[in-house]
Structure 1
């Protein structure tokens, strides 16, 4: 009988699940099963286990608690959690404490688990080999120092991948899906779908808060690279002296503090996608090195004596006008043309206001659940109020307003007081410093006054008195600026 190379322990309190799992994977692996966490601990202690799979929801001891227990006994076997919908906080806690290698929502797909098993067992084998190499290298001479260097590099790579996995688990739940019915944004989604299946470089432009990262992730998710890493770096969040090391990596001793070799984000994204957010802030002195990756698919680590080849798809995003930056000498023209192969522009929220009710409902559900609130209704006046606001901060600003409203809610009806928007910046326009026109600022100012006076124009409590102008003058300006009173105030 052929000896199977790996042993997998599966723990689940439902016997039918154990039988199905064993029938599915026993052709390739030695499968052991347990009907409870307690039985699983006994089997784990008595056998040489390479990988453990457990259901999260079990009586007595949950899957995460079970993993914490066996982690104390032997941290080396990989751990995979099977979970139902709604266990997000438990999953994040388990990932952040290093207690699980991966998780899958039920029902799981055989091909997904198979890929996860192969990767987890490969990493386990590498870790075992690394441990043996380290012991051996301690007894060897200078001739084997290169092998030690490779082990250190592999260990660093595993740590980097673990950190990025944790970040992706957290990031992937920030926005469950794209919410839109706007014809303008539907065109954007159609362009996104068309380019996703290709290998073309994508440049996503638009104001801050319009969902550029969301589109970048959508391109990756429906591309042929979706099974490979999606690596993000914010070019505006790092000092110029750190960006080169973060993107391209460095060798041991390349500079002060470089105590070990470290792969860059491009190496981690090999065969996957790298998302360069805020590319307009990319340092001019490093743009030639980025251009080389785009043209040749190669780069040099800092301090390296050999060139590294990578296969990476690049998606870039910016809120600045790169054409203007080229004219000002702040951005290389040849790099701009390489990035601008397939441009996608995300419209500001003020140009897709029909999406505001959908987004409001989405964020109300999200933050009600997060804050333990029960909200069944949304005020019509709130819908109207939010649709009249200019939203200079776009979807991010709307999300913040809704979150505050949910936190302040005392009943099951969601409302946003007009004064909440009164504290918002009145300037809109592009994030590159452009200002609203004088007429647009006047329109916004009048709307604010009307909101604060419940859309009363005349009288002691009217907007004309608040603005200190003649009532007929205000009525004339309202007509000219096409300001329309919400229907609920018609009475």
Structure 2
């Protein structure tokens, strides 16, 4: 069997743990084991190691003290601490003294630990590549003036890529797998798999919180570009005057404050994938420039005198009806047709309610590990109430509800916030009393009104209803206008 390029050192004073770890991961990595911290230090001094995993409770030297010495010897290899105690002080010491990449509670789960290894080693690979590029520049620079400009440009590009990779690693932990058994969503996954192997432009549509970014990442991971960058930009989150520079980059002096040349996201995504989220909010005056990239694979940096060529796959996503936006003159029809080569629609959570129990268990497990808790029980009533909810915020709303519930839960039983239980119970009571189910619009209007009442009719900000409902502020304001929701005193936020 082909040997992995990566070497993992695992230190634990229990022999059975060493054997189990080695048997589990030796098929993919070069696994070295040591039964004491002292033995682990000896191995680390003699061999090149990419990742170090150690138990916290060991005789003679704790995992934190061991990692402190490891860091002094060589700070580059990632460090992961295993602990069965959930001790906050231990974690703080591990971060401050041992500079750990992550801590993980025992007993560990193979799939979750494997995911953690993958993320840590991605950063290790980037460190090696950065070192190789810097060494190459140091050896080959003959013209000091010209080389200085190249070094500055490459350094900026590497810093951008490094930051984007760190963002991608962090994002991966928020939603690193698709959980579904519903036939309607299986068809979505089937379409995703079929288009992934091509270079076709993909347009993902669906309500806010339905997992459009998750599908975009799946397309990238299943494509031949998976080893190249996946670059995300939220078109709704950036002011119109910044989007052009952010996407296409700028030259030094292109505008006030442009003190150095800066590559745009399209350059950073070269040979990879760029994900344009909320494309419906893309400024009309820049849509022709985006169309040029789609048609010709080229663009001009702000202030540039030459054209930049790129090889990028484009995936776009939106929660609005682009057909309607075209008719209203807010979106170019030629750009829409270029984006809509292969459409994928993500169904709302209310259309795939059979997935709710699976998602509940998934998120309870995820946030139990994150918060150092062991939750084994979820009541039948909780399942029923959560399945009966309308979920206007879709999966994102469900995930946030579960995270809050895990934080509030005591012991090994999962507990949902009392205010949500009250709201859900009221929904069911109204349905039972009337003997019928309200329309989708009625339920959505009722849910938004309850959120506004709880936030004293504030829409925006940290204490606003948009944050409570986990949807975009402009989206909520649009829904309020469409549903003709008014504050009792007639004054809207």
Give the TM-score of the pair, scaled to structure 1. Answer: 0.68
| Counterpart residue number, 1:55 | 52
In the alignment, the residues of structure 2 paired with residue 220 and residue 231 of structure 1 have an alpha-carbon distance, to the nearest angstrom, of: 10
SS in 2 for 1:55: strand
Change (3 A) 1:410 1:13: closer
Higher alpha-carbon Rg: 1
What aligned pairs does 1:431-446 form with structure 2 within 5 A after superposition? 439-440=439-440
Deviation of the 1:373 alpha carbon: 2.4
**Is residue 216–residue 315 contact of structure 2 (8 Å, CA) maintained in 1?**
yes
Tell me how far apart the structure 2 counterparts of residues 98 and 318 of structure 1 sit (CA, whole Å): 38
Q: What is the 5 A alignment of 1:375-454? A: 375-416=375-416, 419-420=419-420, 439-440=439-440
Equivalent runs, 1:269-308 vs 2, <5 Å = 269-308=269-308
TM-aligned CA distance change 1:40 to 1:395, over 3 Å:
same
**What do the CA deviations read for 1:230-266 (whole angstroms, capped 9, x no partner)?**
1111111111111111111111221122121111111
- 1:127 matched to 2:124? The reply is no
Partner of residue 452, structure 1 = none
Q: CA RMSD in A?
A: 4.2
**Structure 1 residues 65 and 251: alpha-carbon distance in aligned structure 2, compared to 1, 3 A threshold:** farther
Residue in 2 aligned with 1:214?
214
Note the C-alpha offset of 1:404.
1.9
SS of match in other structure, 1:299: strand
Residue of structure 2 equivalent to 1:356: 356
1:193-249 CA distance string (max 9 Å, x none): 110111100000000000000000111111111111111111111111111111111
In the TM superposition, what is the alpha-carbon distance from 1:419 to its structure 2 partner?
Answer: 3.5
Q: 1:195 to 1:154 in 2, by over 3 A?
A: same
Unaligned runs of 5+ residues in structure 2 are 1-5, 13-17, 31-36, 85-90, 103-110, 428-436, 448-493
Deviation at 1:389, TM superposition (A): 1.1
Question: What SS does the corresponding residue of 1:187 show, helix, strand or coil?
Answer: helix
Q: Aligned match of 1:69 in 52, 67, 72?
A: 72
Determine whether 1:193 maps to 2:193.
yes
Q: Distance in 2 between matches of 1:332 and 1:166?
A: 34
Aligned to 2:105: none
| Counterpart secondary structure, 2:50 | strand
Q: Output one character per residue of 1:81-118: Cα deviation in whole Å (capped at 9) or x when no partner.
A: 3869999x99x979xx8989xxx99889xx99999988
Structure 1 residues 304 and 93: CA distance shift in structure 2, 3 A: farther
User: Which moves more between the two structures, 312-321 or 402-411?
Assistant: 402-411
The gaps in structure 1 that reach 5 residues or longer are 1-7, 26-33, 45-50, 428-436, 448-491
Q: Distance in 1 between matches of 2:67 and 2:328?
A: 55
2:237 is the counterpart of 1:237: yes
User: Partners in 2 of 1:404 and 1:234 — Cα distance?
Assistant: 26
Provide Cα deviations, 1:262-292, integer angstroms capped at 9, x if missing partner.
1111111111111111111111111111111
User: Using a 3 Å threshold, how does the CA distance of structure 1 residues 323 and 123 change in structure 2: closer, same or farther?
Assistant: same
Contact 1:192 1:215 in 2 (8 A): yes
Return closer, same or farther for 1:236/1:114 CA change in 2, 3 Å cut-off: closer
Aligned pair in 2 of structure 1 residues 394, 81: CA closer, same or farther (>3 Å)? Answer: same
CA distance in 2, matches of 1:230, 1:86: 33
CA contact (8 A) 2:233 2:276 kept: yes
Alpha-carbon distance in 1 for matches of 2:400, 2:112: 29
Specify the alignment match of 1:487 in structure 2.
none
Which residue matches 2:478?
none
Q: TM-score, normalised by structure 2?
A: 0.68
Structure 2 vs 1, CA of residues 86 and 228 (structure 1 numbering), >3 Å: closer, same or farther? farther
Superposed displacement of residue 68, structure 1 = 3.0
Give CA-to-partner distance per residue, 1:35-58, whole Å, 9 cap, x none. Answer: 8564467669xxxxxx75342227
Q: How many residue pairs are counted as aligned between the two chains?
A: 391
Q: Determine the structure 1 residue equivalent to 2:327.
A: 327
The match for 1:471 is: none
CA 212–253 in structure 1, closer or farther in 2 if over 3 Å, else same: same
CA contact (8 A) 1:297 1:311 kept: yes
- Inter-CA distance 86–196: structure 2 relative to 1 (3 Å threshold): farther
User: Does the 8 A contact of 1:192 with 1:344 survive in 2?
Assistant: yes
CA change 1:413–1:116 in 2 (3 A) is closer
Match of 1:81 in 2: 78
Could you say if the C-alpha distance between residues 377 and 328 of structure 1 is closer, same or farther in structure 2, counting changes exceeding 3 Å? same
